[in-house]
Structure 1
Amino acid sequence: MRFLSRRLVMPNDLNYANSLFGGRALEWIDEEAAIYAICQLETNCLVTKHIGAISFESAAMQGDVVEFGLETKKVGNTSITITCLVRNKITKKTICLADDIVFVKVDPQSRKPVPHGKTLEQLVKQTEVEFNKLKV
């Protein structure tokens, strides 16, 4: 799993108990996973189809830096399934795990599912090439 993005927990992200509001965490997860899927499939004509099990493990407090680990779990004909782990950047303690986040490529006009033309093997190779470029 690669940790690709970070956010700072701000006062407007907090719930009544002064910790990160679960709804805000889910909003961030959907956005981060969508960006990841868009980059993987090289299209922004995607919709969130499903978010499976979500497990909150620990609290994030104001001022904490949280990071998002994303990984492709499965690739279908029109879909991509992603796992997202949210953790505290400093302590590495898991805040939340969202599993089975499914995005589907759709036709921009009809909004019907269309094939994206990618395989899991292609995406693994593509990701390795991109990360190797970053190391230089």
Structure 2
Amino acid sequence: MFKSKPTMPEGQIDTLIGPQVVINGDFHFSGGLYVEGRIVGKLIAEEGQKAILTLADNGSVEGEIHAPVIVIHGRVDGDVFASERVEMGAKARVEGNVHYKVVEMAAGSVLSGRLLHVEAGKRAADVDEPEAVHALRSVGS
């Protein structure tokens, strides 16, 4: 009935950060970014550009992530801001809040933080947390 999704990236890969690579500092990107290594700092998609981040099973990010589409199979220690969609695979581990418009979580994924819905027309980073929590609570009521 349900097919498991492959952990390969979706779409085109413009930048690959290999498994032996460690980046310290903020990293700005556009297009397809596939991370197998470790990033200590913010991952930020260029404003107004199409961008998708795919974090591989063994990849990790220690810092915030800002992108339209974020696919997580590895570990994130920091908040996630997706203006379009967040997908968390079965091996995904997130320590932080996830700001999303659409979210998909596979069985086995772990989130230690809050899921905060972002309304259409707002950037995820611009959402006031109490407003987002109120919106999330009113949906559950």
TM-score w.r.t. structure 2 length?
0.26
Structure 1 or 2, whichever has the larger Rg, is 1
Larger strand fraction of residues: 2
Larger helix fraction of residues: 1
TM-score w.r.t. structure 1 length?
0.26
Higher relative contact order (CA 8 A, sep 6+): 1
